[in-house]
Structure 1
């Protein structure tokens, strides 16, 4: 859909903004808004049964019974998620990692919200450690300044059009979640029930596995594979005997694949290299971390040689089963359930020991069935990945469209003054 332009334009004096409509001005942000620091509010001091949302730099982090910010307002990430924007329609409490916005009745708050989207506030961080945004830097930004009626028209237009786009994005995100759920169900069914729906079944002896095909066995992992633990970073090494070698971390081991875009190096005693060396066919598995990282794994195909692994990454080396089968088992629902019930847990974190890992009940079909199921899963997962990739591409395009629309409206590249009238008519 195309939109009309303004009748006449002039140079804004700002290269990235370009021309703006005649009648608009360019002003520093400090001329139209006041940015207020939030207040310190410790977790233990919050009234969690309250109805006032507490905002941190990345959104709502809890609740309280008093507010320190007016409504409506814009929360701007000051520390951490620098420049992140959140809209609060009701009175809220801003903690000390955010700013909140105050302004006069001559400025439309919602228009300010949309304009802030195009300032790329995250790039304005001046801190080298934790990203941080200073009020002075924020105030110095130049923005377009149309009349109040135009601000209201732009805000209403973007609320409506971006709302439509956001609904389409949410639909694609739900599709991705459903596809991931279905993919997980396919993996879990294949590794516990096989491919033949008419196969005779027997009790596995494991309550959360249930029935398995006759001829299949259930063995502790230690009977079908060995578990190699990794090296701890910071271990003392001898300068005379040390060598520098690639080092695989938790961040490199994703769910079903390896991300080797950033690989760390480590100094290790030369006589210890073989002890921690990865071998082709090892199934790498994360010891823990966030709940979603627990048991996450992928197959090592010898992408880098030599290479060792971190102590938080297990290298599971199959002996009587194929690597692809073991990888599928580890990714199944029953294995994930086992890891969660055996893991040592704390707030949002979990970890499993090598001892518990070695007792994982491992389903072992005959070798030929392992190969057939692995082949089936490869084909099915390829289908799911294609659909998920298509949905992600759609989301990317929708987000690009959203950003372009916001930029065009708030810089006056399109004239939306009559759009709301057209909708009403």
Structure 2
């Protein structure tokens, strides 16, 4: 931010963690700038907008409504807010969730509903989201696992501000500059989505159509597969893999594994044998090359990747299904199951209250079988193609994170008086 100048003169704020501030700025406690609304209702109509903690993006101060809702029922107790109020999440304040309401509505009671009085709502929001103020709020929270802030503590925190006319000048410049950053973030985010779609298409095309664009095709007879190379075979799931169930009796294995984002990873909290609870005896032992499926809660989560290949010996919860391929290449089979996951094949097969699947439910699932050499070629092509895409996704995600950090640092510098945004830069 070297392109922005500082204020002509500064003074000591008198607050150690704040330090120097512009000479004409004021230092006051938050409660002098805002008041707390504490209106509660449980008779709000279902048409009234409801905002939950899940609808607020951490750190950015942006409203990102989701399809999920934390509201328990139509008559559950909610907080009431009005246009221009600042909704600040008192639960886990280190997540930095605060938005400005654009209309009246109701919200989770985990929000503090604040009415800005001596500042613009945006100024109050930006102040509460600065790292230093967040640290001050978090330091006064109660509860280790679920820390909550209260208005008494937040209201006592000292902050700085100029008069409202200068606030308006600063916020105008902030809006212009952050809009540019947000537009770039949006473009890069869309690019990441397109890369992920390309990765999905690459996998699905390779395991259902092969690598030869000139090969003769036939109808597979399976709706989600469509046309396949004429020389490919097809067998049911049970003819290609064996279900596993090696219990960790006697705690013989201590390497705890987990299925996460389509990969089998080692849990960071892996414990030594002497500290492991007896429940790990019920876990199952898995070996490299075997495949793990998570076929639980199918209807409650349609975004997760539900299968992955094991790369190291360890134990994984017995709630997951583990199989060992014997008549098909393990990695090719893994990519085939990933394609089925992308096509949402498993969701229509769930049953029961938990919408879960067992081996018997998928035993007749049709699986395509190219010749062994073609399986190896397809696997190599997918490995290389997805590696290139994954690298590009990782680099783009890194640049998005840098932009978000720059955005946050720019706002913090503006509302704490580190840079002067009153005139032309």
| TM range, smaller chain | 0.7 to 0.9
Indicate whether 1:123 and 2:135 are aligned.
no
Instruction: Kindly indicate whether residue 292 of structure 2 is the aligned counterpart of residue 284 of structure 1.
Output: yes
Residues in 1 aligned to 2:269 and 2:371: alpha-carbon distance in whole angstroms? 37
Aligned-pair distance for 1:264?
4.8
Contact 1:254 1:297 in 2 (8 A): no
Contact 1:55–1:95 (CA under 8 A) maintained in structure 2: yes
What secondary structure, in the 3-state scheme, does the structure 2 residue paired with 1:375 have? helix
C-alpha separation in 1, matches of 2:213 and 2:45? 54
Which residue of 2 is the match for residue 361 of structure 1? 366
Aligned counterpart, 1:258? 264
How do 1:170-249 and structure 2 match up within 5 A? Answer: 170-229=186-245, 245-248=254-257
Distance 1:291 1:258 in 2: 18
Provide the C-alpha distance between the structure 2 equivalents of 1:57 and 1:147, rounded to a whole number of angstroms: 31
1:339 positional shift: 0.4
**Partner Cα distance (1:293, 1:263) in 2:** 25
Taking structure 1 as reference, are residues 310 and 230 closer, same or farther at Cα in structure 2, changes over 3 Å only? farther
Per mean C-alpha deviation after superposition, the further-off stretch among 199-208 and 377-386 is: 199-208
The two structures have a TM-score, normalised by structure 2, of 0.84
- State the 1:176 CA deviation: 0.8
How do 1:63-74 residues align onto structure 2 when only pairs under 5 Å count? Answer: 68-74=80-86
Residue 306 of structure 2: aligned partner: 296
DSSP 3-state at the match of 1:20? strand
Question: Structure 1 residues 246 and 261, CA, compared in 2 at 3 Å: closer, same or farther?
Answer: closer
Q: Which structure 2 segments of 5+ residues have no match? A: 56-64
Q: Is the partner of 2:378 in helix, strand or coil?
A: helix
Secondary structure of the corresponding residue to residue 266 of structure 2: coil
1:29, distance to aligned residue in structure 2 (A): 0.8
Shift of 1:256: 3.6
The CA distance in 1 between the partners of 2:339 and 2:294, in whole Å, is: 15
Partners of 1:85 and 1:64 in 2: CA distance: 24
Residue of structure 1 in register with 2:389 after alignment: 384
Residue 288 and residue 171 in structure 1: after superposition, are their counterparts in 2 closer, same or farther (change >3 A)?
farther
Aligned equivalents of 2:180, 2:245: Cα separation in 1: 50
- Equivalent pair of 1:257/1:298 in contact (CA under 8 Å): yes
Q: Look up the SS of the partner of 1:120 in the other structure.
A: helix
334 and 75 in structure 1: CA distance in 2 versus 1, 3 angstrom threshold: closer
Distance 2:372 2:153 in 1: 64
Displacement of 1:100 in angstroms is: 0.9
**What does residue 399 of structure 1 align with?**
404
- In structure 1, list runs of 5 or more residues that go unmatched: none
Write out per-residue CA displacement over residues 85-105 of structure 1, whole angstroms, 9 at most, x where no aligned residue: 12211122233221111133x
For each residue in 1:165-196, what CA deviation from the matched residue of structure 2 results, as whole angstroms up to 9, or x when unmatched? Answer: 11211111111111111110110010000000
* CA distance 1:296–1:351, change in 2 (3 Å): same
Which deviations, in whole Å up to 9, do the C-alpha atoms of 1:45-64 show, x marking residues without a partner?
Answer: 5523x2x4222233354799
Deviation at 1:17, TM superposition (A): 3.1
* Residue 267 of structure 1, CA deviation: 4.5
Q: Determine the structure 2 residue equivalent to 1:11.
A: 12
Q: 1:67 to 1:269 in 2, by over 3 A?
A: closer
Distance of aligned partners of 1:335 and 1:140 in 2 relative to their CA distance in 1, 3 Å threshold: closer
Q: Which moved more, 1:220-229 or 1:13-22?
A: 13-22
Q: Which of residues 319, 329, 338 is equivalent to 1:331?
A: 338
Q: SS at the partner of 2:263?
A: coil
Q: Does 1:37 align with 2:49?
A: no
- Tell me, in whole angstroms, the C-alpha distance in 2 between the residues paired with 1:188 and 1:148: 57
Q: Which residue of structure 1 lines up, in the alignment, with residue 59 of structure 2?
A: none
Aligned to 2:49: 53
The residue number in structure 2 matching 1:140 is 156
